[in-house]
Amino acid sequence: MRHFIFLLLILGAQTGRAQDSLQTNIPVHDPVMIRQDGVYYVFATGRGISMWSSKDMQNWKKEKPVFGAPPEWAVKAVPGFKGHIWAPDISHHNGLYYLYYSISTFGKNRSCIGLTTNKTLNPASPDYLWTDHGQVIESVPGRDEWNAIDPNLIVDEQRQPWLAFGSFWNGIKLVKLNADARGIAQPQTWFTLASVPRTRPGSDSTAGNGAIEAPFIFKKFDYFYLFASYDYCCRGEKSTYKMRVGRSKTLAGPYLDKNGVPMTQGGGTLVLEGDADWHGVGHNAVSTFDGVDYLVFHGYDARDKGRSKLRVEQLDWQDDWPVLRSH
């Protein structure tokens, strides 16, 4: 009997560990990754913003969501929003962790980008507390022909913060922020970084078919690299998502692909697209750990009914252009 009980205890401990962590390809949408004190953290689309932690980028533990309840300001600002928060962006800025996030409903541009900050990302730390700063920017149907989702913070060489964002409509935007990166700087400074011509423009409140979104700007060598996702996400086995890139010597552009085509004119050099194993891939970030660059994104798993999962691939550079090491 003692041996039987001991065996049960072992099996129970193993089951607990299995529930506590998952292997690579955890179920995420729109992931971003950062490291603090040897621990990797992934933030992703989900109720309250999904959060995962890992010590090796292989075995992941699901943490509690960033928000235990939907932000009150967001519920009031966006009709139909019920707490499912999209496309977070994480970075360390001004001594704090800045987490931008998207509030919207599918296919509409009544949207807002919010910001919450924390001293630490370690949930076990006594300093762990998310402080929400509310709305940073909004888009309003009938007023704005752009969509305030998919944020990405980028700081230029003068330490000036900017926010890239955008999905469908007339493309990817860049706006200058205040020094504290919590609001738009005045007077306002805006740029269009990339767009796809729309053959079906749609109305003031619909996206049409200009399928580009999810900007991420990464500084490398003498260039700013603008990654963006093209075509359609969120359709499981019918997803056609793919990632393209352009580069510029200046943050505001113009961003050109390998053939010299501006991304504002539909240009963009292919980084990765779907294949027999993954129906579509996209919404990427780029993270650097110990001098190695990684492409962090989600893909729709062809071996699992098109479910969206985390992928992390090492980036190499050929002639100052990003390529996946495994391709």
Q: Which residues are identified as catalytic?
A: 30, 213
Q: How far apart are CA 9 and CA 14, in angstroms?
A: 9
CA distances from 72 to 76, 130, 224 (A): 6, 15, 36
C-beta of residue 105 within 8 angstroms of C-beta of residue 83: no
Encoding tokens for residue 51?
């959060």
> Could you give phi then psi for residue 274, rounded to 5 degrees?
-65, 160
Greatest Cα pair distance, the chain, in angstroms, is 77
Give the residue from 130, 135, 134, 148 showing the smallest Cα distance to 90: 130
26 to 31, 36, 58, 249, 299: CA distances (angstroms): 10, 20, 9, 36, 11
- Check if the beta carbon of residue 50 is closer than 8 Å to that of residue 136: no
Distance CA 156, CA 162 (A): 8
Asked if 218 and 224 count as a contact pair (C-beta separation under 8 A), the reply is: yes
Report whether 252 contacts 174 (CB < 8 A). Answer: yes
Give the span between the Cα atoms of 196 and 209, in whole angstroms.
8
**Residues recorded for the chain:** 327
